[in-house]
Amino acid sequence: MAYDCIIIGGGLSGLTCGIKCAEDGLRTAVISSGMNSLHFSSGSIDVFGYRQGGGKVYRPFDYMKETAKSNPAHPYSRIGSRMVRESLEFFNDQISLAGISLHDNGDENHFRITGLGVMKPTYFSQDSVFNDKFKKAVEERASIAVLNFDGYRDYYAELTVSQLRKNPIFKRTGIITGKVTLPFYTRTEKNLHEFRSIDLARVFDTEKYLPRIAEEIKRAARGARVVSLPAFIGIDNFAQIHKRLEDLTGCLIYEIPSLPPSILGLRLDNALRSRFAALGGEYSGGDRVNGGEIMDGELDHIHTENYGDTRHRSRFYVMSTGSFFSAGLRSGFNMLDEPVLGLRFSGSNRRSDWYSAKFFDRKGHPFLKYGVETNKYFNPFGSDGKAVKNLFCTGAMLSGYDPIREGSGGGVAISTGYFAAKRIIGEMKKNK
Amino acid sequence: MIKLENISFDHCIKCTVCTIYCPVARVTHLFPGPKQSGPDAERLRIKNPGLVDESLKYCTNCKRCEIACPSDVRIADIIQDAKWKYVKKGFFRPRDFFMSRTDLAGSLGTIFSPLANFLFSFFPVKILMDLFLKIPYKRSYPAYERGTFRRKFKKLAARQKTFEKKAVYFHGCYVNYNNHSLGTDLVRVMNAMGVGVELVREKCCGVPLIANGYLEKAKKNALFNISSLSGAAAGKGLKIISTSSSCTYALKHEYSHLLDMDNTGIYNSIEYVTKFIFDRFEEGARPPLRPVSIRAAYHSPCHLERLGGVMYTIDLLKKIPGLDLIILHSECCGISGTYGFKREYYQISQDVGYQLFRRIEEADPEIVITDCETCRMQIEMNTKYRVMHPVSVLAMALGDER
Amino acid sequence: MERYETQAVVIGGGATGAGTLRDLSLRGIKSILIEKDDIASGTTGRNHGLLHSGARYAVKDLESARECISENRILKKIARHCIEDTGGLFVTLPEDDPVYHNELLEGCKISDINAREISIKEALRLEPNLNHNILSAIWVPDGTIDPFRLAASNILDAKEHGAGILTHTMVTGLELKSGGNIVRAADEKGNQIEIRCDLVINAAGVWGQHVCSLGGIELKMFPSKGSMLIIDYRINNIVVNRCRKPSDGDIIVPGDTVSLIGTTSREIDYSRIEELRVDDDEIDVLLEDGEKLIPNVSKTRALRAYCGVRPLVAISGETMGRNISRGIVLIDHSERDGAEGLITIAGGKLMTYRLMAEMTADLACSKLGTGGRCRTAKTPLPGSEKKISERKNVRAFTGISQSVVGSTLYRHGLRVQDILKRDKKNYRLICECEMVTEGEAEYAIKKLDVKNIIDLRRRTRIGMGPCQGELCAYRSAGLFADFGIYRPEKSIELLYNFLEERWKGIKPVLWGDGLRESEFTYWIYEGLLGIGEIKFDDDPGDGDGV
Ligand SMILES: Cc1cc2nc3c(=O)[nH]c(=O)nc-3n(C[C@H](O)[C@H](O)[C@H](O)COP(=O)(O)OP(=O)(O)OC[C@H]3O[C@@H](n4cnc5c(N)ncnc54)[C@H](O)[C@@H]3O)c2cc1C
Ligand SMILES: Cc1cc2nc3c(=O)[nH]c(=O)nc-3n(C[C@H](O)[C@H](O)[C@H](O)COP(=O)(O)OP(=O)(O)OC[C@H]3O[C@@H](n4cnc5c(N)ncnc54)[C@H](O)[C@@H]3O)c2cc1C
Ligand code: SF4
Ligand code: SF4
């Protein structure tokens, strides 16, 4: 057997699982066909943000315990809040080994500021998005400058501020908006329309413009103590860049996520992939798993698009191919399925059941809850109705929860991935 | 009827992740990036071919965008296709003609190899080439060997018959004209795993022809190769292996995607060499390996990334005892076949590769390992390091048994 | 209360109203147009934009056929940038009655429509995606027409000739008395407006029944709903008609960057015209029949579905949607109802708007006793003054991407000169699918009566491409705040309304890549930005199709 574990889909869930397996010395490979949804996310990890009937969750682990009985099919209920917590700590450790420090409030959520000035509950945020200094500064009613860059279309400071001002927390805080002009922005250049977060992040990454940008920030901030920028202050060296900018400007500098591509998410993805590689994991990014064979309740082999008939074999398999968005689930004209292995699917086949009448309906959309059904160990069911014992499904492809309405996408991805890794490690030990 | 395989742009959900990973968009604003040149513009070009924006010519066809795309959009194919379908091309382009005929240039070069190698490294000649052919004088050209690999192989052919297991080797132009030792290394490695090597009649895989817009000629070559390979290999259930990631990619994907050729007969048989070795090793045919105590940095070529084959090369290298392996951050070297040899793209090509060169220098290995012949040229030209193919490194580990 | 005085008030900013306003203005009659929503937000913006050759009517309705071909020829000259001279095909499928083919050719001959039978090979060359099993094909001079541009450039010209326009203003009362009529209206904020005028022109399409009733006059409309489906890209470059008696799903029309499959026809009750929706089984029918004309079309991405109501006036007692004549109905209410100052213009087609306007303005002039002769058959619309050379224009803007110049030119004709100035704005794309720059958005917002993002979409195609507003919606909202048009709070509300409006057309075709796209958009706006948590004062408004 070539591998101990092949993971299909290298997203937040698959990579967390892969890191845990590789750390334990398992021979692990990830096969992924495209970039994962971290690239579009806020870069914050939501664990549990909203209550079932509406209202915010302040203590996510307590809420998990509270709802475990009434909602037994929820991935969290199957894992248990203790292990969810353990998985998040593991994740935090790994990410910090890769040089990113995450903020959390222990048992509690914190609130990140969105581009529209809404305060959204979340569990982990990068230090440049939220930290204790920020909390303190807000409590002290330090003045805030919400800034944007000239020519950048994917963020508008005025929109953020208009809602912030309505928020009681910022009632008596002085908030201004302003624009930073990049040193080279005076040139009109063809194709400047590709002026995205990624292009700006690279400007920061080159570092040579930093002193001038800092000057510009200081000018635009007009003496404010706290400055927010759209989230692209560097990719690889962002921690140093962030610190240097704070030193150069004398302001506290924060990032507010803008439209995708998400630099905050890209950092996490880079961190996860570099951890996985450092622990000896093998990653293949250019291929898609397009089938496999389940025999007697075990996945025997899989094959991929680029290798045709060739069979890839492993003792255990994990599928974390994401939701519809990442093509882990598939919808057609009056049909829904899991496209790779045809695993048992939970969801209605009638198209009109999939959505709510309003786009921003408070109840969300039913299709977001659809996904693969599993037993309590996250083993899915094959077409014969039997659980596939050496295959685990994790992350966004799972049914039974609504990542957006509940604010639980990141937490479920991490904890289910971690859970699967622990099961696999346990089984491997038993078999030895 | 709508051909579904030709409308992969229809799946694009405008997530822009391809543009993040495009090495060209990173270094120049002249290129608006894969999303815009690919799926976005394709809709417009279908509406009105006049809407084509020539900036798409900056795409190097490295395929990194396709690796990144979560929607299976064949972005690079779309751009390549559009390049020749919608943009007007000059009638006679001597440089492109010359560059795309690697086999022609190769057979001439190998006949007159000392002269050719001397001329191509002679400064005044380079200046002339820069002036008339728009080939930047700073470029150095691959040296030609004397004679061809096929000739050399004749001496080895007899022994190959003694093996029960066999595989067909598609050597490609580079091995045939510029690097015989890679070919002989391959034969040694295969033999050590108990596999005999066969050659069949082949023509240039067509990559440079496609890149320079000689699609009809490329189609002819493709047809020739498909029939030759399917008769000799696929028909007999033999694997077809290649030591060039770009040749592999062309045989496997570009023949059908860009040239509209039916290659289903050979599709399942084609394998890049390290995957073949991986499988043989798994089957237990792993020859004893001597330690190769070298500090090496591995660079993964774009087309091998696209094939999903990098993990097999890395796996192979990890199995070589003593090899102190540094895996370089996966990024494009910038040369992209003939692209970097053209004056108008030279600077972009260098800028794309800059980070890679810097990282190699930081790692300061004894050798660099990579699977692709043009990556090798680019790295050798821009750094002081010698570059080797993984198969040659493996051959080193086999020791001398000649 | 705002008060105005003018000679004529036109109610309804569809093609008919816009055309009438322009015609009156060119004749020197002072007029104001009132539209309850936006220009082309009614039936004008909810059809398939076919520039009929008349062939479709040549078998049963020669009058319409003749009107069509004559207007077809006129519009190709005066509205170049709103029209594409694609040509059209009538193809007979194996299951179709072959007799219709000859009847059609015959009818075209009588109506002076230049139709000709072509070989199947030729048909397939013209449209390679066409079903290869067709039995015969006829080429006809069909074309396509962009209703948004058509209506907007009529309005633009009228304004440049002194007309006034009030959009997002609803007529709420009519006082029809000789010696001065009063039109009462209210805008969205509830401001009351009163206009005193000599003449009221009811060009409110299917809502004409309601407008008449405001003046105490009974006029029965006969609403028939038609649904259409938009495909992600242009699957055909020539109009494809099925050569059979008019029925559901018998046409595929290319329109700018997309193609449309049309249409169904269903009787509906007048009371339901405000709450129209596309039914799931209509989608089934359209895809099934579309597949017969262009195989595999059902496997491409459907972007959205929408429906419109045919504004047919039930003069006689007919009850079947397609059999009622689509003829033009011009009513002088002085004869019919003793209302001296009211004219109703209804029926007809999008592409006969000019003729309808001419007839209306003729009547208006004779009633008012002033005004000159109609000039609209000769005077080109703004943007179409000269033949447009793409090559020349592309060259004039070197530095800007060719696809941007070409797309802007396509949308605004020669007015591209006012838009694509050498300014950074024009290097910044707001909508990446349809290549709309910040400069174009600014021009539309400031010059073309754009009041919200939905309107902006009609003027520029923002949000009409495959992503249906995923990124451009946010960017556009920002622009409204940036240009100082609205407070930022209001801009966010526009954004919310826009996305809700888009959803109406997306949800009937929510599967496959469209569903993926929607999941993404939902993540961005709800997950990333948290727009759902913002409380607005008013409810999202109504929106529409295309
Ligand atoms: C746009 C967006 C924004 C989000 N924002 C947030 C946020 O801000 N906070 C939060 O907590 N959560 C967020 N989420 C929720 C998100 O679902 C989870 O946080 C998490 O990223 C999901 O991880 P995953 O590994 O399960 O799936 P994904 O990250 O979707 O990864 C699946 C991977 O599998 C690959 N794949 C699919 N099919 C195959 C195949 N057949 N063969 C090989 N590979 C395959 C895909 O290409 C992809 O790379 C967001 C989700 C989306 C879609
Ligand atoms: C499914 C379908 C397909 C069609 N296809 C074609 C085609 O391919 N080619 C073609 O030429 N024709 C076609 N037509 C016909 C064409 O769409 C209509 O004939 C034409 O658009 C009618 O335009 P209008 O201006 O008269 O009406 P409308 O566009 O409906 O304009 C009336 C306007 O009045 C406004 N209004 C209503 N009440 C008030 C009030 N109280 N105060 C202020 N304003 C008010 C409305 O908001 C509306 O904007 C099609 C129609 C349908 C239904
Ligand atoms: S193939 Fe390479 S250069 Fe071309 S668009 Fe894709 S990533 Fe960019
Ligand atoms: S990565 Fe794929 S889906 Fe995303 S924008 Fe590029 S082509 Fe479209």
CATH number assigned to the domain comprising residue B308? 3.40.50
Phi, psi of B152, deg, nearest 5: -60, -35
* pLDDT of C364 above 90: yes
| Best CATH choice for the domain C2-43+148-220+317-368 from the list 3.40.50.2300, 3.50.50.60, 1.10.3720.10, 1.10.150.120 | 3.50.50.60
Half-sphere CA count of B17, side-chain side, radius 13 A: 26
Q: How many residues does chain C have?
A: 546
Q: For A130-256, CATH number?
A: 3.40.50
Reported confidence tier of residue C317, pLDDT bands at 50, 70, 90: very low
The residues on C that touch B, with CB distances below 8 Å, are 129, 131-132, 232-235, 237, 254, 256-257, 294-297, 299-301, 390-391, 394, 401-403, 406-407, 410, 432-433, 435, 465-467, 470-471, 513, 516-517, 520
CB atoms C406 and B14 under 8 Å: no
- The one-letter amino acid code at A40 reads F
CATH number of B12's domain: 1.10.1060.10
- Output the pLDDT for position A186: 54
pLDDT in tens, B216-230: 999 999 999 999 999
Eight-state DSSP code of residue C321? T
- Contact list in C for residue B43 (CB cut-off 8 A) is 232-234, 257, 433, 465-466
- Contact list in B for residue A198 (CB cut-off 8 A) is 19-20
d(CA C138, CA C156): 38
Q: What is the mean pLDDT of residues C117-127?
A: 97
Phi, psi of C256, deg, nearest 5: 55, -120
Strands (E), A281-352: 282-284, 289-295, 298-304, 314-319, 330-332, 335-337, 345-346
Number of domains in chain B: 2
Question: Is residue C56 exposed (0-12), middle (13-18) or buried (19+ Cβ within 10 Å)?
Answer: buried
The mean pLDDT value of chain A amounts to 94
- Output the pLDDT for position B124: 67
Which element (helix H / strand E) includes C144?
strand C143-145
Tokens of C178: 């000789």
Architecture of domain A2-100+266-430: 3-Layer(bba) Sandwich (3.50)
CB atoms C510 and A161 under 8 Å: no
- Contact list in B for residue A28 (CB cut-off 8 A) is none
Of all protein residues, the one whose alpha carbon is nearest to atom 8 of ligand 4 is B12
Q: Is B180 inside any structural domain?
A: no
Could you tell me if B2 lies within 8 Å of chain C, comparing CB atoms? yes
- What ipTM was assigned to the predicted interfaces of this complex? 0.97
Contacts of C297 (CB under 8 A, 6+ apart): B2, C129, C231, C235, C252, C261, C287, C290, C291
pLDDT in tens, C33-79: 999 999 999 999 999 999 999 999 999 899 999 999 999 999 999 99
Q: How many Å separate Cα C225 from the centre of its chain?
A: 15
d(CA A161, CA A116): 8
How many inter-chain contacts (B to C, CB under 8 Å) are there?
Answer: 92
The mean pLDDT value of chain C amounts to 91
Tokens of C17: 């109203």
User: What's the helix, strand, coil split of chain A in %, to 5?
Assistant: 35, 20, 45
Q: Is B65 inside any structural domain?
A: yes
Q: Is B209 inside any structural domain?
A: no
Eight-state DSSP code of residue C301? P
The interface residues of chain B toward chain A in range 127-186, judged by CB-CB distance below 8 A, are none
Q: Nearest Cβ partner of A156 from C428, C478, C512?
A: C478
CB atoms A351 and C280 under 8 Å: yes
The mean pLDDT value of chain B amounts to 89
CATH top-level class of C77-143+222-310: alpha beta
Strands (E), A324-418: 330-332, 335-337, 345-346, 371-372, 391-393
Among B50, B71, B86, the domain-final residue is: B86
C268, C224 in Cβ contact below 8 A? yes
C141, C72 in Cβ contact below 8 A? yes
Q: Is the pTM of this model over 0.80?
A: yes
Structure-token match 């039978």, residue found: C117
Number of C-beta neighbours around residue A143 at 10 A: 17
Q: Which domain holds residue B332?
A: 288-398
Q: Is B315 inside any structural domain?
A: yes
My answer on whether omega of the bond before C169 falls inside 30° of 0, hence cis, is: no
Q: What angle do CA A144, A149, A154 make, to 5 degrees?
A: 100
Among B86, B119, B145, the domain-final residue is: B86
pLDDT in tens, B154-201: 999 999 999 999 999 999 999 999 999 999 999 999 999 999 999 999
pLDDT in tens, B356-392: 999 999 999 999 999 999 999 999 999 999 999 999 9
- Output the pLDDT for position A327: 95
Could you tell me if A198 lies within 8 Å of chain C, comparing CB atoms? no
What is the secondary structure of A66-80 as a DSSP string?
HHHTT-TTSHHHHH-
- The one-letter amino acid code at C59 reads V
pLDDT in tens, B273-323: 999 999 999 899 999 999 999 999 999 999 999 998 999 999 999 999 999
- Output the pLDDT for position B400: 65
Could you tell me if A186 lies within 8 Å of chain C, comparing CB atoms? no
Half-sphere CA count of C218, side-chain side, radius 13 A: 2
For a pLDDT cut of 70, what percent of chain C falls above it?
A: 94
Closest chain B residue by Cα to residue A11: B70
pLDDT per position in chain A (432 positions), as tens? 589 999 999 999 999 999 999 999 999 999 999 999 999 999 999 999 999 888 999 999 999 999 999 999 999 999 999 999 999 999 999 999 999 999 999 999 999 999 999 999 999 999 999 999 999 999 999 999 999 998 888 999 999 999 999 999 998 899 999 999 887 665 545 445 567 899 889 889 888 889 999 999 999 999 999 999 999 999 988 999 999 999 999 999 999 999 999 999 999 999 999 999 999 999 998 899 999 999 999 999 999 998 877 889 999 999 999 999 999 999 998 899 999 999 999 999 899 999 999 999 999 999 999 999 999 999 999 989 999 999 999 999 999 999 999 999 999 999 999 999 999 999 999 987
All CATH 3.50.50.60 domain ranges of chain C, comma separated, are: 2-43+148-220+317-368
Q: Is B267 inside any structural domain?
A: no
Reported confidence tier of residue C421, pLDDT bands at 50, 70, 90: confident
Residue A212 CA: distances (Å) to CA of A181, A209, A219, A242, A245: 10, 6, 11, 14, 10
Q: Nearest Cβ partner of B13 from C391, C403, C513?
A: C513
* pLDDT of C181 above 50: yes
d(CA A265, CA A44): 8
B217, B103 in Cβ contact below 8 A? no
Of all protein residues, the one whose alpha carbon is nearest to atom 3 of ligand 4 is B12
- Output the pLDDT for position B372: 95
Domain boundaries defined on chain A: 2-100+266-430, 130-256
Q: How many residues does chain B have?
A: 402
C254, C236 in Cβ contact below 8 A? yes
All CATH 3.30.9.10 domain ranges of chain C, comma separated, are: 77-143+222-310
Of all protein residues, the one whose alpha carbon is nearest to atom 49 of ligand 1 is A36
Reported confidence tier of residue C323, pLDDT bands at 50, 70, 90: very low
pLDDT in tens, C207-252: 999 999 999 999 888 888 999 999 999 999 999 999 999 999 999 9
* pLDDT of B402 above 60: no
